[in-house]
């Protein structure tokens, strides 16, 4: 064990430094997402979804930096990452709508002006929708129509259509009426 530590003391030092720095960055990013979520009154499940995205990003950066710290050359890393990105690019091109909906989900987290419980109208010439937002997921919104029908509406379409607010937080108003 002592021989291992002495032989790889620089690599172990870089590893510890990378892990500590990335944990600090991850903590800061999660606190920032939590602050945005609280300030914008975003539902906690959407904030937890952002935490998953942050974890994925930190793990990806950690794999890259730890590979460099342990002596994997830039040429080998670029070969591996370019191969992985080429395969992912082909796969994601084949399923581009999933990537589009995930990206839209991130955008909705930071800039969607409507919250869970709001009654909205989606102005679509083929099928206008008037419904209450029940949940906002990574890929789609759950909308409940006045007739009780559950509609899953893709996140990328909600960014492309005109949406108007009819009533703010219907669930809160129902609670006031019960009092």
Out of 94, 125, 152, a domain closes at 94
Query: Rounded CA gap, 148 and 11, in Å?
Result: 60
* Radius of gyration for the alpha carbons in the chain, expressed in angstroms and rounded: 22
| pTM, full prediction | 0.54
Query: Rounded CA gap, 115 and 109, in Å?
Result: 10
Beta bridge partners of 145: 131
Provide the residue range defining the domain that includes 153: 114-178
Beta bridge partners of 133: 143
Out of 94, 127, 146, a domain closes at 94
**Per-residue confidence of the chain (179 residues) as pLDDT tens digits?**
788 888 888 888 999 999 999 999 999 999 998 898 888 877 788 888 889 889 998 998 998 888 888 888 878 888 887 888 788 777 766 677 777 888 888 888 777 788 888 899 999 888 899 999 998 888 888 999 989 999 999 988 888 888 998 888 776 655 444 43
Residue recorded with tokens 């050359």: 73
18 found inside a domain: yes
Tell me which residue of 90, 106, 98, 70 sits closest to 154, measured CA to CA.
98
């Amino acid at each position: 064990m002592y021989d291992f530590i002495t032989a790889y003391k620089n690599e172990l030092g870089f590893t510890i430094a990378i892990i500590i720095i990335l944990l600090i960055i991850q903590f800061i990013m999660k606190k920032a997402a939590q602050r945005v979520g609280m300030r914008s009154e975003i539902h906690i499940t959407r904030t937890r979804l952002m935490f998953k995205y942050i974890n994925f990003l930190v793990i990806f950066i950690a794999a890259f930096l730890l590979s460099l710290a342990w002596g994997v050359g830039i040429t080998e890393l670029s070969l591996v990452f370019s191969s992985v990105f080429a395969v992912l690019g082909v796969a994601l091109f084949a399923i581009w709508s999933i990537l589009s909906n995930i990206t839209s989900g991130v955008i909705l987290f930071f800039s969607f002006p409507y919250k869970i419980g709001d009654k909205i109208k989606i102005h679509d010439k083929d099928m206008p929708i008037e419904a209450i937002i029940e949940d906002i997921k990574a890929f789609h919104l759950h909308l409940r129509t006045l007739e009780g029908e559950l509609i899953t509406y893709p996140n990328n379409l909600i960014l492309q259509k005109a949406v108007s607010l009819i009533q703010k937080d219907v669930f809160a108003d129902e609670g006031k009426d019960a009092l």
